[in-house]
Amino acid sequence: MPVMSYADAAKLAVAEAMRDDLTVWCVGEDLGRGGVFKQYTGLVEEFGPQRISDAPISEAAIMGAAFGAAMAGTRPIVEMRFADFALCATDELVNQIAKARFMFGGQSRAPMVIRKPMGMWRSSAAQHSQSLESWYTHIPGLVVCCPATPQDNYSMMKAAIACDDPVVYLEHKNIWASEGEVDTNHAVDFGKAALRRSGRHVTLVSWSHTANVCVEAAETLAHQGIEAEVIDLRSLWPWDKAAVFDSVRKTGRLLVAHEAVSVAGFGAEVVATVAQNIPMKALPKRLGSPRGLIAYAPNLEDQMRVTAPMIAKAAQDMMENEPA
């Protein structure tokens, strides 16, 4: 299998879909020069400016125009540049796109992929670093996914383009250059988690880049005799409750970690759902960023991160401090 970067894996998925289906096209800012993270490099040369379409700096106009094109029968891939910038198009996404199929009684649909690069990345500060995935899981009508590996960024992009519902597609900016093997024959279904590591003592649940951090933490825990099972949800709506339930039944312990602010984060949804359904040996825990703004200064930015040592320490505490 070829080795490629997280960014190139998604680019390959987009290119293959565009070759196979003339209704697939891309629209957003800076696409003609390859995208701000170079995730569209070379596509305008192959497909031309009509299908790799540069747009004015108006997120609302980009989202609204793409919505109209989707309802007219095309499959737009909408590049929002940063998840933070996409907030300028929240009305179009939340009040129009998410509700289109319902409001028109199934006579219309919005098969769109809305790409929103998310997360902390090299001192990008408060307006370019947010992880807002929990906002979109709250909205009926939206599919929400957060790929963590090159393989998933390929396979989930293919699934997102083929989906007849709007997909909020959140790629973490800090892992654009990360590399891994990509099997172009491997398909992924939304709502099906990935088992990143097997274990029997504690279940670690995460998504996006923090899922990779959980794998790192699990390797540290293994040296201490603690076998952590790592579940990467991959899609947050739908999410794989069955996989999480099965794991927690085995381990009896649950720790959810994510980069987004802990307050009202999706980790709370996972913890609450499991607690309502599965008896546990220890109280479940969640780790997320504190409810604060992300600074430009690296030393302050680091205070907001959920790290592998933090995850390992929380898992150790669960093992040592079980209720009598």
Number of domains in the chain: 2
Q: Are residues 46 and 74 in the same domain?
A: yes
In angstroms, the CA 320 to CA 284 distance is 14
- Is pLDDT at 324 greater than 60 in this prediction? no
For the annotated catalytic residues, the residue numbers are 128
Indicate if 173 and 231 belong to the same structural domain.
no
Of the chain, the percentage scoring pLDDT greater than 70 comes to 99
Structural domain contains residue 11: yes
Last residue of a domain, one of 181, 213, 245: 181
Question: pLDDT at position 322, please?
Answer: 66
Question: What per-residue confidence (pLDDT) applies to 122?
Answer: 86
Let me know whether 297 and 154 are in one domain: no
Query: How many CA atoms, within 13 angstroms, populate the side-chain half-sphere of residue 280?
Result: 27
CA distances (Å), origin 123, targets 177, 213, 298, 302, 304: 17, 19, 6, 10, 12
Task: Please indicate, yes or no, if residue 10 is contained in any of the structural domains.
Answer: yes
Bridge partners, residue 169, by sequence: 115, 145
For residue 125, the model assigns a pLDDT of 87
Instruction: Please say which residue of 121, 146, 181 terminates a domain.
Output: 181
Last residue of a domain, one of 181, 216, 248: 181
Predicted confidence (pLDDT) at residue 218 exceeds the cutoff of 70: yes
Q: Would you place residue 149 in the very low, low, confident or very high pLDDT band (cuts 50, 70, 90)? A: very high
Segment 136-146 shows an average pLDDT of: 97
Average pLDDT value over all residues in the chain: 95
Q: Would the pLDDT of 124 be above 90?
A: no
Kindly report, residue by residue over 257-270, the tens digit of the pLDDT. 999 999 999 999 99
The pLDDT of residue 285? 96
Token reading at 290: 């504190």
pTM: 0.95
Helices marked H in the chain — which ranges? 6-20, 43-47, 59-71, 90, 100-103, 133-137, 150-162, 208-222, 241-251, 266-275, 298-301, 308-320
- Looking at residue 323, its pLDDT comes to 58
Query: Which of 305, 286, 306, 310 is CA-nearest to residue 294?
Result: 305
Alpha-carbon span 110 to 93, nearest angstrom:
10
Statement to judge: residues 93 and 223 lie in one domain:
no
| CATH number of the structural domain spanning residue 75 | 3.40.50.970
Instruction: Give the range of the structural domain holding residue 232, as residue numbers without chain letter.
Output: 194-318
* Segment 26-82, tens digit of pLDDT: 999 999 899 888 999 999 999 999 999 999 999 999 999 999 999 999 999 999 999
Q: Which two tokens stand for residue 247?
A: 């794991």
C-alpha to C-alpha distance for 170 and 258, rounded to whole angstroms: 13
Q: Note the pLDDT tens digit of each residue in 245-301.
A: 999 999 999 999 999 999 999 999 999 999 999 999 999 999 999 999 999 899 999
Residue 49, number of CB atoms within 10 A of its CB: 10
